[in-house]
Structure 1
Amino acid sequence: MKKTRAPKLSSLRDPLPTAATSVARTARPVRVAGAPRPVRTDMAPADNVDEQRIYHLTHISNLAAILRDGRLLANEALTVRPAVDISAAATRNQRREARVAGDDRSVAEYVPFFLSPNATVWESIRAEQADPRLALDAHGSEAFDFVMLVSTVKKINDGLAALAAAPEAAAPEAAAPETAADADAPADETPRAAGTVAVTNGDAAGSLTRFGATPATAERMLQTLRAEADGAMILDAELLVPDAVPMELITLVGVCNDNVRETVRGILKASAFKPKVAVYPPWFHTSADPQ
């Protein structure tokens, strides 16, 4: 018997900033010697992307194993497949073959995050629509069987910086040879370093997808995605974290309802990690549901 979906309560998708409208210039005031310079009001502040939320989707059956390991692992680092694997085998192969621009590593060596709780691949699961990127296990699961592991851009970047500064990471290594991407980078571009996130403007395995793979280009890519007028591109975009994400960088577990929240809290009791567990029904209902 097919389960009846609860009605969508409201929209909790993250608000996207709109392009700020410049304030009209007024007549130029007379400058008085010794007076403080007037504050410019015709320049919009740059979008601060630090608090952009990022979302990693997993089946609730995988949560206990993730907590035991203490981290989210990139696909290539997994020694045992998840209890419920979301990605189809063909998708895993494509991401294994795709390379992150400016890096010699594959997309499969990164932990993927959505930039919206309404990402298109997640919408396919919520709406029970066929999607070649998804495994049959994902197609056969109800939306409330999944949980969202949530963090922010700042939390991830600060965590990676702390790991890079740890004593065991301080030993000098042989300098990596300059790549073509490094050689072509503008002089003011921050070079890519180990432990740097990458941001895409679409499916990371897509042949036309562009990457922001240095701190500066990743920030610019996020600003572009957040400023997009119709907010469509951000639904396919990804933030990629190299190798692994320690669970202490996950600040929130989003769930569909109170029953799932109690189940997740029970799983968390056996671990050292205590993120907030919150019920966000709109994250788990298809956008086609009535408001």
Structure 2
Amino acid sequence: MDDECIHGLEGKLCALCYPKVVTEPLVPVKKTRAPKLSSLRDPLPTAATPAARAARPVRVAGAPRPVRAEKVSTDNVDEQRVYHLTHISNLAAILRDGCLFANAALTTRPAVDISAPATRESRRDALVAGTDRSVAEYVPFFLSPNATVWESIRAESTDPRLALDAHGSEAFDFVMLVSTVKKINDGLAAVTDASTTDDETPLVPRLVAVTSGDAAGSLTRFGATPATAERMLQTLRAEADGAMILEAELLVPGSVPMELVTLIGVCNDNVRETVRGILKASAFKPKVAVYPPWFHSSADAE
């Protein structure tokens, strides 16, 4: 008789002391046949190119390539501020006219004209690309309150574009008439919609143009359609060092109604009170704000 295990069971009856060896049943291996080739040139399927993989689309010679969707810019240029500089002595006449006129539309010269005669002539000769209009037929706006021509006045530095009157004036003698791209575009669209001929044929829409630099410059590029003007603004705003936007201009054809001017920027409280006095005789009541940084040379901040 076999000896008992520690659990009191005889022989090898204890499953704990003598566990049974479990043998796994054999699993029959299925034989796989190699795929039948239609010809000796057919490649064998590999891991990289399994036989069950969907076939790639075949491009037919001469067929047009699929068009990829263009990336949509997230830069909203509508809120870009634009700035028209004028001497405070000109403000009363502008308010009486009810609008800012392009240089070519003026019947009398401003009380203080900051443009040199040569500058006015070059702008009369230069055409806005894609149009038959000269630059002088547009009202110019800066795209920055630190535009280079304005900086020349602030710093009292020589600039051939400026008249002697501008050189002899202090920066606080000027005011900034401010609007936005959206405000101007909406205003021009409203004027175009309201202005129709007797046969109800809509007039040609008035479109702004955006330049890459001085509008009279020979190398200056123009965006003179809604799409190209928007792209030009996006390019200027995205530039790393911001140098181009200091030279760039937004041009508005013909005239700009004063109701599109939302803000008048001035240098100090005394000028603000003077401007408010001028506005009392006018139907236009834009906000008048004191913002000294616009009127000090960039060299003063260093």
Q: Please classify the TM superposition score into its range, dividing by the shorter chain length.
A: 0.7 to 0.9
1:235 to 204, 227, 246: 246
Aligned: 1:49 with 2:60: no
| Cα 1:211/1:258, change in 2 over 3 Å | same
Aligned: 1:105 with 2:133: yes
For residue 171 of structure 1, report the CA deviation from its aligned partner.
Answer: 4.8
Cα distance between partner residues in 1 of 2:301 and 2:186 = 39
TM-score (norm 1): 0.77
| Cα 1:162/1:57, change in 2 over 3 Å | same
Aligned: 1:60 with 2:88: yes
Aligned: 1:259 with 2:270: yes
Cα distance between partner residues in 1 of 2:282 and 2:199 = 32
Q: Give the match's secondary structure for 1:289.
A: helix
Counting matched residue pairs gives 232
Alignment of 1:117-128 (within 5 A): 117-128=145-156
For residue 69 of structure 1, report the CA deviation from its aligned partner.
Answer: 0.2
Q: Which residue of 2 aligns with 1:282?
A: 293
Alignment of 1:132-151 (within 5 A): 132-151=160-179
CA contact (8 A) 1:202 1:210 kept: yes
Q: Which residue of 1 aligns with 2:218?
A: 207
Aligned: 1:160 with 2:225: no
Q: Which residue of 2 aligns with 1:183?
A: none
Q: Deviations over 1:133-185 (max 9, x none)?
A: 0000000000000000000000000000000000446855699xxxxxxxxxx
Cα distance between partner residues in 1 of 2:100 and 2:78 = 21
1:219 to 223, 230, 238: 230
| Cα 1:247/1:170, change in 2 over 3 Å | farther
For residue 284 of structure 1, report the CA deviation from its aligned partner.
Answer: 0.1
Q: Give the match's secondary structure for 1:223.
A: helix
CA contact (8 A) 2:262 2:287 kept: yes
Q: Which residue of 2 aligns with 1:182?
A: none
Q: Which residue of 2 aligns with 1:180?
A: none
| Cα 1:170/1:201, change in 2 over 3 Å | farther
Q: Which residue of 1 aligns with 2:119?
A: 91
**Quick one: which amino acid aligns to residue 73 of structure 1?**
F
Q: Give the match's secondary structure for 1:55.
A: strand
For residue 290 of structure 1, report the CA deviation from its aligned partner.
Answer: 2.9
RMSD: 1.7
CA contact (8 A) 1:163 1:169 kept: no
Q: Give the match's secondary structure for 1:50.
A: helix
For residue 46 of structure 1, report the CA deviation from its aligned partner.
Answer: 1.9
Q: Which residue of 1 aligns with 2:102?
A: 74
Q: Give the match's secondary structure for 1:155.
A: helix
CA contact (8 A) 2:103 2:137 kept: yes
CA contact (8 A) 2:206 2:253 kept: yes
TM-score (norm 2): 0.74
| Cα 1:62/1:251, change in 2 over 3 Å | same
Q: Give the match's secondary structure for 2:236.
A: helix
**Quick one: which amino acid aligns to residue 79 of structure 1?**
T
Q: Deviations over 1:170-219 (max 9, x none)?
A: 855699xxxxxxxxxxxxxxxxx531000000000000000000000000
Cα distance between partner residues in 2 of 1:174 and 1:257 = 45
**Quick one: which amino acid aligns to residue 186 of structure 2?**
D
Higher Rg = 2
**Quick one: which amino acid aligns to residue 123 of structure 2?**
R
Q: Give the match's secondary structure for 2:177.
A: strand
Cα distance between partner residues in 2 of 1:50 and 1:171 = 33
Cα distance between partner residues in 2 of 1:78 and 1:45 = 39
Cα distance between partner residues in 2 of 1:169 and 1:217 = 29
Alignment of 1:169-188 (within 5 A): 171=199
Give the structure, 1 or 2, with the largest relative contact order (CA under 8 Å, sep 6 or more).
1
| Cα 1:197/1:137, change in 2 over 3 Å | same
Q: Give the match's secondary structure for 2:252.
A: strand
